[in-house]
Amino acid sequence: MKRKKEILVAVTGGISAYKACELIRLLRKKGYGVTAALTRNAAKFVTPLTFRTITSRKVAMEMFDEDMPWEPEHIALADSVDLVAVVPATANFIAKLANGYCDEIISCVITATKAKVVIAPAMNDNMYNHPTVKENLKKLKSFGYMMIKPVKGALACGRVGVGHLAEVAAIAGEIEKLLK
C-alpha cells in the first residue's frame, strides 16, 4: 500500500488566513494527510480550534508546547512532511524566512525540513511590489522554494491590485503536481 503524502499548511497572519481552511479541505478530499501550523497573528484571524477541527490533528503553534513529545516539535514536523505550504505568506514572514529568522514554529520547521516548500504570498499591492519583498522572494526562489504568485483582486485595504491570494483550487493543484 502506498504511503499517504503528508502536508503542513503553514498559516501566517494575513486577512486571507481563512482561505487556508478551504485549502486544507481540498487537500484532505484528495487523500493527503494535513497538519496546520499557525503564527500567533494567524490565530487572530482564524482560531486554532477551527484548524484542529478540519484537520482532526493537533495544531502546531508554539515552539515549547507543554504537551510536546520527547522530540522537539519543529524537528518532528520537519521530518514527517513531504511538503510545506505557506498560505498565506505575509511580507513579514517572507522577510523572516529569507533572512534566516527562526523565532516561531513555522520558520523553524521550514529551516529544518528537506521537504518541498511552497510560498503563496498575499498582501497589499504596494507591499508586494516593494523592492525588499521582491528581493526576499527572489532569495527564497534561489533556495528552491516554489512560488505561487498572488493575483489581481480585491485587497483588504479596499483597493484592487496584485497581492490577492491565488485561488485556493490553483494552489491545491500546484501542490498536487509537486507531490506526484
* pLDDT 10s digits, 20-77: 999 999 999 999 999 999 999 999 999 999 999 999 999 999 876 666 555 656 777 8
In the chain, domain spans: 6-178
* pLDDT 10s digits, 124-170: 999 999 999 999 999 999 999 999 999 999 899 899 999 999 999 99
**pLDDT at 95 (0 to 100):** 98
153 contacts: CB under 8 Å, gap ≥ 6: 160, 161, 163, 164
Query: What single string gives the DSSP state of each residue in 164-179?
Result: EPPPHHHHHHHHHHHT
**pLDDT at 68 (0 to 100):** 55
Confidence band, pLDDT 50/70/90 cuts, at residue 78: confident
b/e string for 134-159 if b means 16 or more Cβ within 10 A? eebbeebeeeebbbbebeebebeeee
Average pLDDT for residues 103-120, to the nearest whole number?
95
Name which of 88-92, 104-108, 141-145, 166-170 the model is least confident about.
104-108
Active site residues: 157
Cell numbers describing residue 96: 523572516
Q: Could you give the CA distance from residue 133 to residue 139 in angstroms, rounded to a whole number? A: 10
Architecture in CATH for domain 6-178: 3-Layer(aba) Sandwich (3.40)
Say whether pLDDT at 99 is over 60: yes
